[in-house]
Homo-oligomer: A and B are copies of this chain.
Amino acid sequence: MATPSALDRTLSALADPTRRGVVDRLRQRPHPAGELAAAFDMSPPAMSRHLRVLRQTGLVEENIDADDARVRVYRLRPEPFAALRGWLDEVESFWEDQLGAFKAHAERTRGTKPPGGRKS
């Protein structure tokens, strides 16, 4: 496949429960990698891989702790979320656009069995 789009990578990253849990946790405050591994009861290598995925999609950024250069502190970045929102807005505009027509149409097609609209 020809390099997945940014949206592909963002959605794939967020589809994993652990990674979405990390995102939720980072909403509170930045966290060191070790804390995250412990919080999710997971080996450091496993968490490191998750963090790399999140980093590669730009969902988080890594910083070296000022007081101890061994620890990497992770925090959220807004851009990919904004992009996801943009796509979601587009999709949802479907219902707004067609609201009037849709409502009228829904009246007639409610359920699985539409009324007789047409014939051969």
Query: CB distance B27 to A4 under 8 Å?
Result: no
Tell whether A56 is near chain B: CB-to-CB under 8 Å. no
Query: CB distance A92 to B85 under 8 Å?
Result: yes
Number of interface residues of A (CB under 8 A): 41
Query: CB distance A8 to B4 under 8 Å?
Result: no
**Least Cβ–Cβ distance between A115 and chain B, in angstroms:** 8
Query: CB distance A88 to B91 under 8 Å?
Result: no
With contacts A24-B91, A91-B23, A92-B78 taken as known, whether A118 is within 8 angstroms of B15 at the C-beta atoms is no
Note all chain B residues with C-beta closer than 8 A to A88.
81, 84-85, 88
- Partner-B contacts on A (CB < 8 A): 1, 4-5, 7-8, 11-12, 14-15, 17, 20, 23-24, 27, 61-64, 66-67, 76, 78, 81-82, 84-85, 88, 90-92, 94-95, 109, 112-114, 116-120
